[in-house]
Chains A and B, each alone.
Chain A
Amino acid sequence: MTVIIFRAFIFYFLLMLMMKLMGKRQIGEMQLTELITTVMLSEMAVLPLTDTDIPVTHGLLPLLLISSLEVVIAFAEQKSKGFRRFLNGNPIVLYEKGRFVEKNLEKARVSAEDVEAMVRVNGYATLDEVSCVILEISGKMSVLPKKSNKPNQSGE
């Protein structure tokens, strides 16, 4: 049982590091710790359900542990800007002042075509209408228009 608790700690932090390495694109809508918690909780809940050889405590205690860790980490994120930045990173500017920021595109593992597609999804025909594109910490891209432009609404 103690081995399982140790493993729960190890896998939690290992998953967090792995998700951080994979970058913002994989995380999508969720914050890093939320994604890890969701994935681990669902896997842990399934094991004692499908394998009756496993005592209930082997599923229950790690579930409680991971949930509590999530609350503690979320609280620490809220209280410490440095810790929040370490976990979630910073928004990355991908396009500004009329050109792509190549260094940031490489860092975020995003291509220029991805950025152009996101600009179109946001209702702009070309990059000329846009002042900058930012990859947020959530993994979504924000497209900010030039002052004179606004996105085409559907039906116009």
Chain B
Amino acid sequence: MGNFVYALIILALIIIFTAVNSVIICNICDDITALIEENCVEVACGVWEDNRKYISLFVRDTEIDLVDTAIRQINTQNPDGKNFFKEAVNEVRRSESVDWDCIF
């Protein structure tokens, strides 16, 4: 009985933990996207840098690297850099959101 209770608790904790982190990461990505659309690109870069370590615990390195590359391109005054940054952040958001297409 003891192990069963522990297992149920672990199951519940995993589901809650995953859901909470997904929501947090999606909100961070939404904030960054909103800042980019308002032309506050430097602030958006700052938000990413502040949360990068936390996001990297749950998101694959390729997606993190994509955002980092996009930020570097903005710094080199690439005119498409802003859109690339937004797309890269959207990729991170897509990987964390519950999308039935992604599941299947």
Contact = CB atoms under 8 A, between A and B. Distances in A.
Interface in B36-79: 56-62
A72 interface: yes
B7 interface: yes
A7 interface: yes
A65 B11 contact: yes
A2 B22 contact: yes
Contacts of B61: 52-53, 55
Interface stretch (B27-35, B83-91, B93-101): B93-101
A68 B8 contact: yes
A3 B7 contact: no
A2 B18 contact: yes
A54 interface: yes
A146 B95 CA distance: 64
Interface string B8-19: 101100110111
A69 B15 CA distance: 12
Main DSSP-derived SS at the A contact region: helix
Nearest to B17: A61
Contact of B15 (A5, A71, A75): A5
Of A56, A68, A71, A72, most B-chain CB atoms within 10 Å: A68
A33 to B, nearest CB: 13
Contact of B58 (A55, A67, A70): A55
Interface of B: 1, 3-4, 6-8, 10-11, 14-15, 17-19, 21-22, 56-62, 95-99, 102-103
27 contacts: A1-B18, A1-B58, A2-B18, A2-B97, A3-B103, A5-B14, A5-B18, A6-B98, A53-B61, A53-B62, A55-B57, A55-B58, A55-B59, A56-B57, A57-B58, A58-B58, A61-B17, A61-B18, A64-B14, A68-B11, A70-B7, A71-B3, A71-B6, A72-B7, A72-B8, A75-B1, A75-B3
Interface of A: 1-3, 5-7, 10, 52-58, 61, 64-65, 67-72, 75
List of 8 A-B pairs having minimum Cβ-Cβ separation, nearest first: A71-B7, A75-B4, A68-B7, A68-B10, A2-B22, A53-B61, A68-B11, A1-B58
